[in-house]
Structure 1
Amino acid sequence: MRPLTEQDIRNSFINCSKGEAKRLAIPRDLAERPWNDLDFLGWRDPGAPDRSYLVTEREDRLVGVTLRFPSSQRGFLHRSMCSLCMTTHPGSGVCLMTARKAGAAGREGNSVGVYMCADLACSLYVRGKKIPESGLRIEESLTVEQQIARTTGRLSAFLDKLYT
């Protein structure tokens, strides 16, 4: 992914108003992000514990999405798998992220959801740059490049649902 600026990020959102995009919390460490290892930029809002954001490149343009997730925590013995990168996490390491649909459907309250890593670090898990809290990642017969393609394909399918 190419490095993004604050303005790039704010202009990319498809499922919130321009005013909401202007007010949302942008990460302050954009210059330190490992852009070459990211398929999307994802972050949690430090001021709103139930919100997170995701920005990715699609068809030569940026697409940003606001996400919500439940604040309830699961027990540490419970394990879940991210549906994007297939990383398993204990407790609340994976959660159902919901996004309001784009356009009129979103204004009517329609949304779609996806189970994904709560820290939005799927790109880093797939590349082995970050280790899950459990310390383990399922061994796969797919190459890293194939895993990246699967992750970006699943993200793309999720984003497609925001437009329908």
Structure 2
Amino acid sequence: MRPVTERDLRASFVNCTKGEAKRLAVPRDLATRPWDDLDFLGWRDPASPERAYLVAESGDGLIGIALRQAAPHAGHVRRSMCSLCLTMHPGDGVCLLTARRAGKTGQQGNSVGAYICTDLACSLYLRGKKEAAPGARLHESLTLEEQITRTTTNLTTFLNKVVE
């Protein structure tokens, strides 16, 4: 992913108002992010942990979506798989994140969801830059580039559902 500025991020959001985009918490460490290792930028709102944001390159620009974490299940101890990068996590390492649809359907309350790594670090798990629990990344015959392509395809499919 190419480096982005705070202005780029705020202008990219498709499923919230301009006022909401102006008020959302943007990461303070944009200058130090490992941009070459990121397929998308994802972060949590430090003041409101149930909120998350995801920004990805799309065509000539960026597409950003605001997400909300569904209520966690008490006593959740089984392993779950991220629908983007296919990393397995125990407990609450994967959560259901929902996004209000863009446009009129979103204003009517329609949303879509996906099970995604809770910390939104899919790109780093793929590349081995961040470790999940033992056995989180199953051995695959796909190359790293093929795994990255699969992850970005999964992300694009999710983003398209938000924008439709």
Give the TM-score, by structure 2 length.
Answer: 0.96
Amino acid at match of 1:43: W
1:103 corresponding residue in structure 2: 103
Q: Could you tell me how far apart the structure 2 residues matched to 1:156 and 1:112 are?
A: 13
Paired residue total = 164
**Correspondences of 1:117-136 after superposition (within 5 Å):** 117-134=117-134, 136=136
Q: Could you tell me how far apart the structure 1 residues matched to 2:52 and 2:104 are?
A: 22
CA displacement at 1:49 relative to structure 2: 1.5
Q: How far does the alpha carbon of each residue in 1:28-50 deviate from its partner, in whole angstroms, 9 at most, with x for none? A: 11111000000000000011121
1:89 corresponding residue in structure 2: 89
Cα distance change on mapping 1:28 and 1:135 into 2, 3 Å = farther
Amino acid at match of 1:120: L
**Correspondences of 1:1-164 after superposition (within 5 Å):** 1-72=1-72, 75=75, 77-134=77-134, 136-164=136-164
Q: Could you tell me how far apart the structure 2 residues matched to 1:116 and 1:40 are?
A: 13
Where structure 1 has 5 or more consecutive residues not aligned to the other structure, the ranges are none
Cα distance change on mapping 1:19 and 1:88 into 2, 3 Å = same
CA displacement at 1:74 relative to structure 2: 5.1
Give the TM-score, by structure 1 length.
Answer: 0.96
Q: Percent identity, please.
A: 63
Q: Which stretch shows the higher mean deviation, 2-11 or 71-80?
A: 71-80
Amino acid at match of 1:4: V
Q: How far does the alpha carbon of each residue in 1:39-98 deviate from its partner, in whole angstroms, 9 at most, with x for none? A: 000000011121000001001110000000124255463110001100000101001110
Q: Secondary structure at the match of 2:49?
A: coil
Where structure 2 has 5 or more consecutive residues not aligned to the other structure, the ranges are none
Q: Could you tell me how far apart the structure 1 residues matched to 2:154 and 2:114 are?
A: 10
Q: Could you tell me how far apart the structure 1 residues matched to 2:33 and 2:134 are?
A: 24
- 8 A contact 1:90–1:134 mirrored in 2: no
Cα RMSD of the aligned pairs, angstroms, is 1.3
